[in-house]
Amino acid sequence: MDVVGKAKRVRFYVNEGDKIGHQPAAMALVEWLRREDTQGATVFRSIGGFGAAGHIHTTHLVDVAQNMPLVVEWIDALDVVERLLPRLTRIVPRGLVTMEDVEVVLHQTHPVRDLPMALTAADVMSREVTAVSKDAPLANVVALMLGKLYRAVPVVDGGIPVGMICNSDLVQKGGLTVRLDLLSKLDKPAVHETLARLAAANKFAADVMTPGPTVVDEGTPLPRVAEVMAHRRLKRLPVVDDHGALVGIVSRLDLLRTVAGGTDRAPATPREMGLADDTPISRIMRTDIPLVHPDTPLPEVFQAVISTRLNRTLVVDADQRVVGLVTDAELLDRLTPSLRPGALRSLMHRLPFHGKVDTSAEQHARARRASDLMSRDVATTAEDTLVSDAIALMLKGSHKVLAVVNASGRLTGMVDRADLLHALVEPA
């Protein structure tokens, strides 16, 4: 939350006796929020009160003095609250959670956040991990993954990770005809039909998982976690304890967010975290960028989107200035329904798109050229921007790519999250 203005305040009402795992609930919430690099949280202890049970708690009653009501207050940007609150409400044992709009009129913090020099996987991993057993029906696994922030799920046997299921596993071995990120864009009948088809196939998690997953111990230093993730081109790693049992999952996003959360005005330098020295983004950017213009017709837009693993294309004007971004999900979402089957085939199999908007569908067509499809929410950054600053910019708006421009504002390159993580491991 770098700017003064609209924000959200979330309050958790719990008691001193409440537990999350083996920790007091209030401190468990504070520690969870800290691991997620939120702006901060405060615990307030009351002098009296009562809840739904009707029992009055007061510091004047010695026998209940250790079970006083507590309030954990957290204020943060709207997008951060929307991302984290659903996960938080699932771990709160009982009590009351409220959310309200607030206006931040002043936000001046310490110049540098206290960041340990030797962070480990346990310090940044997500502990609320949903895993499945080997005999879990595949349709249930897909339904579960549709509601997850991460598009992957560990498979466990007796608590030990024995496999991972991701998008490619579902498509290549599970018979899923559409990637999860695209499936979520379809209407409910289409989603239900897909899940019913998977259920009829009678496949299970063990049939589609990638066995022998790469894991890291919870004490693994972050530089090593980043190195494994970058070199093996993995987006996430299961984290295990001394007995090999699953205790969390660390993602590429967790690592990048940790770097970006080093200070409130600028990230901590990668060197402070044991990572590679900071470098200008121009030294790591890619220049082979698929581009279209606002008037580029629909089939050519499809061709640009499917031409790279990023499944997106930048839209530039005649002067090579960035005016928008088109993703595969936007293509699917903004097309008229009659064109979606052909669009799915094109996106899934990277085939040319031959769909045409005929006369009968003309009045229902919503997109026929790049300008109809693009989003104007595209982040740009200068060539001399440091990698750590680029990470902060990317995460601030939940962007997956950054367009790199020169001093005249013309496009010269692009980076994605994988590029930035690789730069932290090996300097350019």
Flag the least confident range among 226-230, 238-242, 360-364, 398-402.
360-364
Q: pLDDT digits over 291-300, tens only? A: 999 999 888 8
Q: Where are the domains of the chain?
A: 5-104, 121-265, 282-425
Residue 418 burial (10 A CB sphere; 0-12, 13-18, 19+): middle
Quick check: pTM over 0.85?
A: no
Q: Is the pLDDT of residue 382 over 90?
A: yes
pLDDT one-digit tens code per residue, 145-176: 886 656 789 999 999 999 999 888 888 888 88
Q: What is the band of 264 on the pLDDT scale with cuts at 50, 70, 90?
A: very low
Question: What average pLDDT does range 188-206 have in this prediction?
Answer: 86
Residue 6 has what pLDDT? 87
Q: What is the pLDDT of residue 304?
A: 85
- CATH architecture of the domain 282-425 equals Roll (3.10)
**Alpha carbons 378 and 355: distance in angstroms, whole number:** 27
Residue type, 368: R
Q: Residue 364 pLDDT > 60, yes or no?
A: no
Condensed to tens digits (0 to 9), the pLDDT of residues 287-320 reads 888 899 999 988 888 888 888 778 889 999 999 9
Mean pLDDT of the chain: 80
Instruction: Please state, in angstroms and as integers, the Cα–Cα distance from residue 306 to each residue in 188, 289, 326, 331, following that order.
Output: 25, 12, 11, 11
CATH number of 5-104: 3.30.70.120
Token pair, residue 323, equals: 């005016």
Q: What are the helix (H) ranges across 106-183?
A: 121-124, 138-146, 167-172, 180-183
> 323-358 in b/e burial notation, b at 16+ Cβ within 10 A?
bbbbbbbbbbbbbbeebbebbbbbbbeeeebebebe
Residue labelled with tokens 């709207």: 78
Does an H or E element contain 390, and which? helix 387-396
Q: Report, as an integer, the average pLDDT of 395-420.
A: 90
Which three-class secondary structure state does DSSP give residue 17?
Answer: coil
Closest-CA residue to 39 (of 86, 7, 71, 13): 7
Place of tokens 């770098």: 2
The answer, yes or no, to whether residue 275 has pLDDT greater than 80, is no
Fold of 121-265: CBS-domain (3.10.580)
> What letter does residue 398 receive in the DSSP assignment?
T
Q: What is the pLDDT of residues 243-253, one digit of tens each?
A: 999 999 998 88
Report how far apart, in Å, the C-alpha atoms of 19 and of each of 29, 94, 95 are: 10, 9, 11
121-265 and 282-425 in the same fold: yes
- Distance (Å, whole) CA 201 – CA 309: 29
